[in-house]
Amino acid sequence: MKILLITLSLLALVTSTTTVPVSSVYQCSCTNAMTQTDCLTDYCNWDSTSGTCSNKACTVFSKEDCEGVPDTFGCIWNYTSNKCEGFTKCSDYTFTIGNAGDCNDKLIKCQADLNTIDSTTGTIKCKNRTQDAILSIDDCNLLPYANCFWYLTPDGKQCLQNTTTNKCEAKSITKCSDYTKDNCNILACYLNGDVCTELTCAIIPEDQCFVYFSYDSKSMIFCSWNGSACVDLNVSTLTQEKCLDSTYFTYGWNPDSKQCEICVTDPDQDSSTNIILYGSILMAIVFLS
């Protein structure tokens, strides 16, 4: 799934917990690399004349690379032509109604446009995402029941399945216990008996010790495995080798401060505020559609 980034948001730190707005996640790209060593040849081009690094064209990427590079590359995989191509704009893309979630999952900062449902052709168009949340929709009433899971509406409510009426309904959610056991948000919560309860890094098993979301899908919380338990990620302790991978390309290494810092988008800033792209560009993040 594409994690969508246009603007840079501030990092929120609570003790050692790293909580980041989704608009800040997956921000690093080749343009952040300041030296040829950090300009990774599999994904980037180095200009020896200007001493700058740039993203390779989308057309050279395989399906795996196309779907794995950060969204700042602007690449999406075309399943019809089986080619990687540059993303244009949300309204250019159409999916079947049953795959309306692909507007969120396969594109960049898009959501399903429920006003464009065509029952004759069985299709729906996409539109620009209306809010900075992983799951965003305008109206629960038009969302297919099968896809009615935790989408956030402009008024702050969430779309949830009513298993009694078999309808998709908008509900006010302010904490995990507001969910029922039938619609507990597994991106942010877990079932403790019959009670939907807030996730923490401490209860996540080793093979899933990476990230989880806030209940409204507007923020991501990072975790790390310390050898015996899953704990809150403390970015200030990351080494250069771990900085990029451990934060899903949200932070990069600053060679001057020797700290892991959030990526910036202005390459003209001085080296004390520019971030180096270091390590592998490709990482898969799997989210529930």
Residue 66's pLDDT band (cuts 50, 70, 90): very high
For 109-144, the DSSP string reads SEEE-GGG-BTTTTEEEEEE-SSSSSSB-S-GGGS-
Exposure letters 89-99 (e unless 16+ CB within 10 A, then b):
ebeebbbebeb
Parse the chain into domains and list their residue ranges. 12-262
- Give pLDDT, residue 46: 92
pLDDT at 10 over 50: no
How many H-runs (helices) and E-runs (strands) does the chain carry? Answer: 3, 19
Distances (CA, A) of 123 to 76, 96, 116: 20, 4, 8
pLDDT tens for 151-209 read 999 999 999 999 889 999 999 999 999 999 999 999 999 999 999 999 999 999 999 99
pLDDT in tens, 97-129: 888 889 988 998 899 998 899 999 999 999 999
Q: Say which range, 4-8, 29-33, 207-211, has the weakest mean pLDDT.
A: 4-8
What share of residues in the chain are helix, strand, coil (percent, to 5)? Answer: 20, 30, 50
User: Residue 1: is its pLDDT beyond 50?
Assistant: no
Name the pTM for this structure. 0.73
- Report how far residue 149's alpha carbon sits from residue 170's, in angstroms, rounded to the nearest whole number: 10
pLDDT above 50 for 81: yes
